[in-house]
Structure 1
Amino acid sequence: MKLQEVYPLYLNNRAVQPNADLAVTDKYTGEIAFRTALATPDVIDAAIAGAVRAAEPMAQLASFERQGVLDHCVRRFRERFDELAYALCVEAGKPIKDAEGEVTRLIDTFRIAAEEATRNYGEVQPLDISERARGYMGMWRRVPIGPCSFISPFNFPLNLAAHKIAPAIAVGCPFVMKPASLTPLGALIMGEVLAECDVLPEGAFSILPASRDGADLFTTDERLKLLSFTGSPGVGWDLKARAGKKKVVLELGGNAAVVVDADADLDHAIERIVFGGYYQSGQSCIHVQRVIVHDSLYDTFRDRLAERVKALKWGDPKDRETFIGPMISAKEAQRLKGWIDQAVAGGARLLAGGECDGAMLQATLLEDVARDSAVYREEAFGPVVILSRFASWDEAVEEVNDSKFGLQAGVFTRDLHQVLDAWDRMEVGGIVINDVSSYRVDNMPYGGVKDSGLGREGVRFAMEDMTEIRNLVIRRI
């Protein structure tokens, strides 16, 4: 399969080729894979103006019409499945099996949105709670918030863009999107599919690769009513500070912990932690970074996990046997390699991996890592897992919470008390029992606390963020 040499951007529903200034590399070979246009501030301004004009006609689309657009996307993504997976493998360096899994999730997300497009319910509310309200009744419904701004990251360029685009269409919000400059192609193919839908009013969508310096309007423009950003905490909180009066939803970083309790199924826990710690080279905000194992299991667990990690194949992501592909850049691989080396110099023991070659970093396993080291405290965002041990359940909960992040956690246990206690006391947005922190289904509420962000994704929950309640009060006379 071969990619086009040049791809357009999408301005007010139409393919436009003002330049070919953005070169996107094959993350494994480092060679230029394709070029696409970069949006200038004038183009972004025109896109926002188009979204403002489209707000009323988008809101007036019938729910079956919005559902029809989403159903069309589902059908076309299925038809273009192999193309989408290959594009993802090239531009993100994602192993082809992981890429195929992400295309499946893209389809799921649009399918869920198509179902939810006809379920935007309201409520009738009795108001006659006292004498002064006798004869009054109320009702409310949700209406689209208006033009939205979306900024999506490099690590899931299909599905994390889908988690913004699909809910917006489902509720009738026009949008402008900035995909990550390192991986813009998935979003551009979505734009190509949306451009086939004549029912969408002009200005319903724009998908605009842009440099960070030229993209300030995505954040600061007052015509936009919502900003949804997925990416690094440093960038996200800065955007919130500059976003003005618009609603802001942030899905930011993580430092996910998984607890393996004394009664855990060891075979199952090891299998899932290998996946959760190292799939797509650990470049997920909910990838398993810290594994906290009960004393009674620790030595056996450590030795068996290290053996599995050493056996993981790393190399060309287009090879179906590859499990560890490249990180997004050699710079990021070297950054994480430096954190590993610092931890080892500080007394950590390297159990597996640790070697780096360009953008390729081996699956790495560490123990005895100092809690003040970068690889323990910060978001690794790469194929590194840290082991520690605990004696009491309270110690495990305390260690899970010993982080400025709070996105998701995993707990392997058969003890219902521990399950409910984790749900009560773990300071995270989601807890996964008998599986890893990196498990996500695309209709569940997903998001974090503390430095991991605010608001929730998941189609129905994103739709709520993209709507406002409009109340109606009726007096019977």
Structure 2
Amino acid sequence: ILHRAVQIFDERREEIIGWIIRESGSTRIKAQIEWGAARSITLESASFPARVHGRILPSNVPGKENRVYREPLGVVGVISPWNFPLHLTQRSVAPALALGNAVVIKPASDTPVTGGLLAARIFEEAGVPAGVISVLVGSGAEIGDAFVEHPVPKFISFTGSTPVGANIGRIASGGKHLKHVALELGGNSPFVVLADADLEQAVAAAVMGKFLHQGQICMAINRIIVEDALYDRFVERYAERVKALKVGDPSEPDTVVGPIINRKQLDTLLSKVARAREEGARPVVEGDVRGQLLPPHVFADVTAEMEITREEIFGPLVGIQRARDEAHALALANDSEFGLSSAVFTADLERGARFARRIKAGMTHVNDIPVNDEAHAPFGGEKNSGLGRFNGEWAIEEFTTDHWISVQMTPRKYPF
């Protein structure tokens, strides 16, 4: 069934990409990336049944054999977001099905098709029996708590904001029905450029890592931190590159920055722009709003106390901080309640690896953007960026449970 689902991804590629563009405002570039990511996790999940292993353990009790079986959880509840709706739904649905679970999907209200109905239809066409996948469409504010509290789902996989994720964690651990959770939450990704970095490559990465999907990605660059010796040149070159980005119709192949998902999100971003100005950040790239199109905004001379640095942005807005040296850059990178993804640029790869090990995050990429996701590599955050890991063998751990069965082969002697 999983292999057939991959075939459907290939056969219906343009239809799927079209839906992602229309419903979530994705540019074609981003929609193609999302299609590929959703396909990859489906293909990876097809290998999971052959990778589930039981264990035989020794016993301190004479004549006893200990067997450990890995079993499905039962029903998995998936609450998916609007920014990468198909992929971030498929990231839970495909492993859950591969490992023997049923699934109930609660997509974001902005993306009910690409975040729920599309995945269900793909698996329906692939041969999943009726009733194994269900989709529950509605406002999270109205049905979210009831979804988590319901006795049927034994596991809740949530991707979204930290406040909502924290509430889900409280309900799942403090309600009538205790259940497992996997929470992929907010981020505040630092992008560190050390003085010996290749300037052009760092600038190119910072453009892609910030403005893919209008910056509406949990891993997107939130803070650019540049060592003092390279700071002024980086700011100048970055501003030049950002000003050249095309803002407009997401269906046009050369559009880089498309519309913000909804008016509420746009208003939030506009308030962040105003706040950055009030706090003294220096604008180096600006633009006027057209409908729900918010052009890139870049601020220099940003400090660690500013709102633009402290909070997740989730839009085409970024601040650039100046670091005195490598140690200061590391301190700035770790100065956040979040710890999802991160990146560091340097000409010295071993220096980069050492720096990466000291960043408090679930993922760090040397000489690349923080927006990375591979179906076989562990995806997840530290601190207030979440609990648990997705992808590969880590997904097998999350979407199954262990059952210890002991078999007493010979009569056991009891003390009374």
Q: TM-score normalised to the size of structure 1?
A: 0.81
CA contact (8 A) 1:333 1:356 kept: no
1:15-64 CA-to-partner distances (Å, cap 9, x unmatched) read xxxxxxxxxxxxxxxxxxxxxxxxxxxxxxxxxxxxxxxxxxxxxxxxxx
The total of aligned residue pairs comes to 404
Asked if 1:219 corresponds to 2:151, the answer is no
Q: Summarize the Cα distance change of 1:337–1:75 in structure 2 as closer, same or farther, 3 Å threshold.
A: same
User: Does the CA contact (< 8 Å) of 1:170 and 1:463 recur in 2?
Assistant: no
Cα 1:416–1:97 change in 2 (3 A) is closer
- Partner residue, 1:121: 53
Q: CA deviation at 1:460?
A: 3.0
1:170 aligned to which of 98, 103, 108: 98
State the shift of 1:232 in Å: 0.9
The AA in structure 2 aligned to 1:160 is: L
Amino acid at match of 2:207: V
Task: Please tell me whether the aligned partners of residues 408 and 448 of structure 1 are also in contact (alpha carbons under 8 angstroms).
Answer: yes
Counterpart residue number, 1:316: 249
Q: Show structure 1 runs of 5+ residues with no match.
A: 1-68
- 1:46 corresponding residue in structure 2: none
Distance 1:316 1:197, change over 3 A: closer
**Which one of the candidate residues 385, 391, 409 is aligned to 1:452?**
385
| 3-state SS, counterpart of residue 411 of structure 1 | strand
Q: Which amino acid aligns with 2:348?
A: D
Alpha-carbon distance between aligned partners in 1 of 2:110 and 2:299, rounded to the nearest angstrom:
30
Select the residue among 53, 56, 67 that pairs with 1:139.
67
Q: What value does the CA root-mean-square deviation take over the aligned residues?
A: 1.7
The amino acid across from 1:281 in the alignment is Q
**Distance between the aligned counterparts of 1:439 and 1:355, measured in 2?**
30
Give the letter aligned to residue 97 of structure 2: I
Q: Secondary structure at the match of 2:364?
A: strand
The alpha-carbon deviation at position 388 of structure 1 amounts to 1.3
CA displacement, residues 438-459 of structure 1 (integer Å, 9 cap, x when unaligned) = 1221221111111111111124
Q: What is the CA–CA distance in structure 2 between the aligned matches of 1:352 and 1:303, rounded to whole Å?
A: 10
Q: Is the 2:187–2:339 contact (alpha carbons within 8 Å) kept by the matching residues of 1?
A: yes
After the TM superposition, which residues 186-225 of structure 1 pair with which residues of structure 2 at under 5 Å, given as runs? 186=114, 187-198=116-127, 200-212=128-140, 213-225=142-154
Structure 2 contact 304–332 (Cα < 8 Å) conserved = no
Q: Give the corresponding residue for 1:42.
A: none
Aligned to 1:148: 76
Q: Does 1:437 align with 2:366?
A: no
- State the AA in 2 paired with 1:184: P
Give 3-state SS (helix, strand or coil) of 2:50's partner.
coil
**Matches of 2:392 and 2:104, distance apart in 1:** 18
Q: Please say if 1:241 is aligned against 2:241.
A: no
Query: What letter is aligned with 1:71?
Result: H
TM-superposition CA deviations, 1:177-202 (whole Å, max 9, x none): 0111101112212211222344x444
Residue 396 of structure 1: aligned partner: 329
Q: Which residue of 1 aligns with 2:414?
A: none
Q: For residues 184 and 139 of structure 1, do their structure 2 counterparts lie closer, same or farther at Cα, with a shift above 3 Å needed?
A: same
Asked whether the equivalents of residues 89 and 119 of structure 2 are also in contact (C-alpha less than 8 Å), the reply is no
Q: Aligned ranges for residues 24-103 of structure 1 at < 5 Å?
A: 69-103=1-35
1:252 to partner: Cα distance:
0.6
Shift of 1:154: 0.1
Give the counterpart of 2:200 among 225, 245, 267.
267
| Preserved CA contact (<8 Å) 2:353 2:366 | no
> Is 2:92 the partner of 1:159?
no
Secondary structure at the counterpart of residue 331 of structure 2:
helix
Q: Which moved more, 1:329-338 or 1:94-103?
A: 329-338
SS of the residue 1:380 aligns to: coil
SS in 2 for 1:264: coil
Deviation by residue 1:66-115 (Cα, 9 ceiling, x = unmatched): xxx11111111111110111111011110112111211111111011112
Residue 67 of structure 2: SS of its match in structure 1?
Answer: strand
Q: Distance in 2 between matches of 1:334 and 1:356?
A: 11
Secondary structure of the corresponding residue to residue 214 of structure 1 = helix
Go from structure 1 to structure 2 and tell me whether the alpha carbon gap of 1:416 and 1:323 turns closer, same or farther (over 3 Å shift): closer
8 A Cα contact 1:147 1:173, kept in partner: yes
| TM-score when normalising by structure 2 | 0.93
One-letter code aligned to 2:85: P
Letter in 1 for 2:11: E
1:359 aligned onto 2:292: yes
- For 2:262 and 2:138, locate their aligned partners in 1 and report how far apart those are by CA, in whole Å: 19
Give SS of 1:118's match. Answer: helix
Letter in 2 for 1:81: R
Equivalence for 1:56: none
Residue in 1 that maps onto 2:398: 465
2: distance between equivalents of 1:352 and 1:369? 14
> Unmatched 5+ residue regions in structure 2?
411-416
Amino acid at match of 1:436: I
User: Distance in 1 between the 2:29 and 2:352 partners?
Assistant: 32
Query: Amino acid of the residue matched to residue 328 of structure 2?
Result: E
SS in 2 for 1:360: coil
Distance in 2 separating the partners of 1:442 and 1:170: 14
| Residue 154 of structure 2 is aligned to residue 229 of structure 1 | no
CA–CA distance in structure 2, aligned partners of residues 104 and 455 of structure 1 = 23
Q: Is the 1:332–1:359 Cα contact (8 Å) retained in structure 2?
A: no
CA distance in 1, matches of 2:97, 2:392: 11
User: What residue in structure 1 maps to residue 223 of structure 2?
Assistant: 290
